[in-house]
Amino acid sequence: LSTPFRLEVPAPVVEEMTARAKAALPNECCGLLAGYIERQRDAAPVGRVVRSYALTNAAASPVEYLSEPREMFEAIRDMRRRGTDILAVYHSHPDADPVPSRNDLDRNYSTDVVNIIISLKDGAPRLEAWWLWDAGYRPADWRTVEN
C-alpha cells in the first residue's frame, strides 16, 4: 500500500480538536480538516491542513458518532468554494484508546482521507491518525506544525 500523503496539522488545529473533545464529554465529538495536497519531487505528497470544520455529533453518544448531514454538506461546499479538499476526519473516544472501532471501519467516510482519533481515556489527550478501509486500518504519517 502506498501512502497517499503525509498529513501536516497546524498546532492551533490540534488544540482546537482536543478542546472540542473535552467540551463534548461525555459524548464523542467530530469534525473535518481541509487543505491542499502538495506534490514533492522525491517524497510522498504532503497534505497541508488550512482549516477545520466542527460538526455536530448527531448520534450524541459516548461510543459512536454520526456527522450531522446538513453541516457536512455545508462544510464540503465551503471547501469547494475555497479550492481546498477534505484531508482528514476526526472524532473522539471518551473512554477508549485512539484506535478505530468496528463502527469506525463500517462507517468510514473515505479510504483517501486520514482518520484522526482523540482519546481522553487517560486524562491527557492522545491523538493517533489512521488510514481506514472496510477490513482494517494502518497508521497514517502525520505531524503537528507551527502556525
To the nearest whole angstrom, how small is the minimum distance from the Cβ of residue 83 to Zn ion? 30
Question: What is the rounded (10 degree) CA torsion for 48, 53, 59, 63?
Answer: 40
Amino acid at site 93 = H
Q: Is residue 44 within 8 Å of 142, Cβ to Cβ?
A: no
In the complex with Zn ion, the residue whose CB is nearer, 21 or 46, is 21
For Zn ion, the closer of residues 38 and 97 by Cβ is: 97
Interface ranges with Zn ion (CB under 5 A): 101, 104
- Of the pair 30, 46, the CB lying nearest Zn ion is at 30
Smallest distance from Zn ion to CB 44, Å? 26
Tell me whether residue 53 or residue 130 sits nearer to Zn ion (CB atom): 130
C-alpha cell at 35: 487543505
In angstroms, give the least distance from the CB of 79 to Zn ion: 23
Closest to 79 in 3D by CA, of 113, 45, 39, 41 = 113
Q: How far is the CB of 92 from Zn ion (least distance, A)?
A: 8
7: β partners: 47, 142
